[in-house]
Amino acid sequence: MKGICILGSTGSIGVSTLDVLRLNHKDFNVLALTAHQNIERLFQQCLEFNPQYAVVSDELLAEQLAEKLRQSTADGTTVLSGEASLCEVAKLGDVDIVVAAIVGAAGLLPCLSAAEAGKRILLANKEALVVSGDLFMDAVKQSGGELLPLDSEHNALFQCMPAGYQTGVRPEGVRKIILTASGGPFLHMDVNELVNVTPQQACAHPNWSMGKKISVDSATMLNKGLEVIEASYLFAMPAEHIDVVIHPQSVIHSLVDYQDSSVLAQLGNPDMKTPIAHALAWPERINSGVPPLDFVKYGQLTFSEPDTVRFPCLQLAFDALKTGGTAPAILNAANEVAVDAFLQGHIKFTSIAKVIENVLGLMTVSPADSIADVLDVDQHAREVSISQLGVV
């Protein structure tokens, strides 16, 4: 049996991962589950999967969870708290696979711990790679670990790569990679009406069930921009060899264009359990619990170019990738601050892009030479972003 640690088990990716593990319980052993604050859901998960460790961000919440577990059938679970504990469970000796599903830059250090320990990392936390880039890829390479993407788009690209492909290497014979994007809930809304979009509207994705932050990112297409940056590192492809195409049906998850003009695509229902099952069992295949794709049901698959007037965040991400250094970290930090402000009703939907653009213009981009440097830039960018909330 393979030992599993799920960083962010109470979020949408974590819950979907446990759904897949439930179907394949003879092959996997859940050793550690972690959550930010949702201790009630984490408690229920501990009752079912009985992990050795449960980790939450806050010490007081950890004490509350520990007390609940002491009075339950899962009293063998040790409860820990804080970032250091997240890093510790990510590198446990019995852990073979780490599912990295913590949202935002908060997942960076635990992901790095798993990388340095040579684990198989199933990466759903795109921000960790966006922020640390080559540093993260180098840690995986030096430890002999494996990095498999969980994002549906990157997992699709991985599945369409040449036989025996390993992430972090420029794939031979590939001309370009093409990421598909649904266009989110505002694909056809009048551009002038976007200023009045509410958080509830922005979180109502037409195809995918996701958390609030990633749902807003999808609505602005900054999520697709982060995926472009992530794809550049995962597949060692420069920005000019990465395209984005709008595909509202979310059936084709991404495509690889080869030099002989063959194009390989991965198709499936829009359900994260498919890439999760693929990465958990790779190079084998296991049951994901997702219904087979019904081509007749969808009938037509359509495609169009992204509108950077409607989605300025996508262009900002491409620009940050081309600039390199700490620019992607600045972009990510500014976005996290802006999205949080939007969800709290402090800024307009259209102000998210303005905050990011302003912060990128105000800060000096430097080489990303160490994790300490990257974390300093991340913190500074958040401070600058907060100062911009009253300007946009």
What is the reported pTM?
0.92
Strand 252-258 and strand 174-181: pairing? antiparallel
Mean pLDDT confidence for 369-383:
94
The top-level CATH class assigned to 324-392 is mainly alpha
* 185-231 pLDDT, tens digit each: 999 999 999 999 999 999 987 776 678 888 999 999 999 999 999 99
Mean pLDDT confidence for 60-85:
93
* 131-152 pLDDT, tens digit each: 899 999 999 999 999 999 999 9
Q: What is the rounded CA–CA span in Å between residue 147 and residue 172? A: 19
Structurally, what CATH architecture does the domain formed by 2-149 represent?
A: 3-Layer(aba) Sandwich (3.40)
* 264-322 pLDDT, tens digit each: 999 999 999 999 999 999 999 999 999 999 999 888 999 999 999 999 999 999 999 99
In the prediction, which pLDDT does 65 show? 96
pLDDT of 128 higher than 90: no
| Mean pLDDT value across the chain | 94
pLDDT of 107 higher than 90: no
pLDDT of 8 higher than 90: yes
Q: What is the domain partition of the chain in residue ranges? A: 2-149, 152-269+296-319, 324-392
